[in-house]
Amino acid sequence: MSNPDDEKKYWLEEPANINKIFYAVIGLCVLVALPKVLTLLDILLFKQGRFELADFFVFYTFFGVIGYVMMILLAKKLRGFLMRDEDYYD
């Protein structure tokens, strides 16, 4: 019979190695997100608008939110138009 103490210990079973992997993944996420955050803050890439309103700091954020809300409202209206009766397939 094998003794449980004699079993091979894998490298992922040690808490120190799990912590190393966790912090490596967090560091990688920060490195990937850093250019995006700097671009959003207009530090890395300066966006020059074609019209005066586009130079507003969060114009593109508001534009995206308004577009998304309009899409949801349009989908709700379209649902009423395309929806079938409950017993349509019976």
Contact criterion met (CB below 8 Å) for 18 and 26:
no
Q: What pLDDT score was predicted for residue 30?
A: 93
Contact criterion met (CB below 8 Å) for 55 and 49:
yes
| Residue spans per domain, the chain | 1-46, 49-90
pLDDT range class, residue 88, cuts 50, 70, 90: confident
Q: What pLDDT score was predicted for residue 5?
A: 67
Q: What pLDDT score was predicted for residue 26?
A: 97
Report the predicted TM-score, pTM, of the whole model to 2 decimal places: 0.43
By CB atoms closer than 10 A (0-12, 13-18, 19+), residue 40 is middle
Contact criterion met (CB below 8 Å) for 35 and 41:
no
The pLDDT tens digits for 48-63 are 777 777 777 778 788 8
The pLDDT tens digits for 42-51 are 666 666 777 7
